[in-house]
A and B are shown apart, each in its own frame.
Chain A
Amino acid sequence: MSIAASELMKTPLNAAHRALNAKMVDFGGWDMPVQYPAGIIAEHEAVRTKAGLFDVSHMGEIRVKGPGALALVEHLTPNAVSKLAIGQVHYTAFLYENGTFVDDLLVYREAEEEFLLVVNAGNSDKDFAWVQQHAPAFDCTVVNESPMTGQIALQGPLSVQILQPLTATQLEPIGYYFFTHGEVAGIQCLISRTGYTGEDGFELYCAAGDTEKLWNAVMAAGAPQGLLPAGLGCRNTLRLECKMALYGHEIDDTIHALEAGLGWIVKLDHSDFIGREALLAAKAAPATRKLVGFKTLEKRDIARDHMPVVQDGRQIGFVTSAAPSPTCGFNLGLAYVPTELAKVGGTIQIEIRGRAVNAEIIPTPFYKRTR
């Protein structure tokens, strides 16, 4: 059942998307553009070769501030928060006691005692409740800033040259996964050199009411250079090529952080975060399953999200995300398979509409930009 468009939540750019003739879909309760008239492939290619502009205002923002802020964020997330410099960002997660995912998120260190947590739209309410539930033991305030915050993501190799004329902030010196504050097109922004596409780019956070003005200014500056508005359809194919996890696919409340290949965000010796005990135990035992990348061998064999991985007619794993890859030119995907089968060069079988189809396990990420 789909929810009537009138009941869906809308970002400040809803009218702008409609004016651009976007195809709108229900994305986790939000009325979001899946593609614009150029189409997913053209938008995907624009991001890889020039630039694309995404509305990501649906993402959730939670601000944690006060003398106990660092201790709270270290309690809630497995990455080494105290090692973040002011102006630095890292990727991390909220985990349950059993090491599975509440959500994945970015942590921005705004000040010694102030952090901005950016979470998935569909999990935003659950995440805010999770932070609030644990906050009373810590001396800090927790504010859900999602409703008053807009966010757009400019992604692609031309991002710096498109954005620089709009701001006095020097963009080139901002390192990957660092951020600063500054005006863009006269609008106060948090300017973050981050993204979910595998390309260079910036995520710009601003007051919700300024989002449309910011979007229009960046579109106008970039359009002559080939910038396209880009929808959630290509956001998915772009992140998949780079093996970036998507909640509800590679990670959820049944998969723990080590199986997901996210051991690099888990600093077991750094702090006593929620989920640490379970992950220590998981690390000591042999892993039963692993996330692998695969390609199917025939053009017609296109695996899709959630299809079963089979062996001798029995399900032994599942596809988390899969699609024809615009950049690689073949059909690829990610799947959880038993550890003994998780070897590059090995063959697995995926059941596509009743047919068991061969797929080869290949190295990931499928795509990596040349810096």
Chain B
Amino acid sequence: MFPADLKYTKDHEWLKPAGDGTALVGITQYAQEALGDVVFVDLPEAGASFAVGEEFGTVESVKTVSELNMPAAGEILEVNASLGDHPEAVNEDPYGKGWMVKLKLTGDLTGLLDATAYEALVSAESH
């Protein structure tokens, strides 16, 4: 449920470092379950830069809306355009086809949780 090669935030985003200074960002299995059916993902333009923790978009489900916050400082290299027609990919494959943005990292990854720490956090929240 929480892949070991990802880093996580307390706000339920994940970040996957590619090893070349870039990373993919999305929301976790726990987050997509809490939202329910996703119907729209509002993402920034490529080229935009964000600080760590800054809001970079929103994800809307039938029931509610949630802000997306940057797990790490970076510049948007690419957004997942296929979510425009297939927002349900966020529910079906949150760590794969449901990725949201590709970042060029401009800061470090300190402050992110590993899978074990994130699982503990989620387990505490759901009790």
Contacts and interface: CB of A to CB of B under 8 A. Distances in A.
Nearest to A40: B62
B44 interface: no
B60 A324 contact: yes
Interface of A: 23, 34-35, 39-41, 44, 233, 237, 299-300, 302, 304, 323-324, 326, 353
Interface of B: 33, 36-37, 39-40, 42, 58, 60-65, 91
Given A302-B65, A304-B65, A233 B60 contact: no
Nearest to A37: B33
Given A39-B36, A300-B42, A302-B40, A323 B63 contact: yes
Given A39-B91, A302-B40, A324 B62 contact: yes
B124 to A, nearest CB: 14
A48 to B, nearest CB: 14
B62 A323 contact: yes
Contacts of B58: 353
A300 B36 contact: no
A233 B36 contact: yes
A142 B40 CA distance: 49
A326 B40 contact: no
A112 to B, nearest CB: 44
B40 A34 contact: no
Contacts of B60: 300, 302, 324
A114 to B, nearest CB: 39
Contacts of B40: 299-300, 302, 324
A363 to B, nearest CB: 23
Contacts of B64: 304
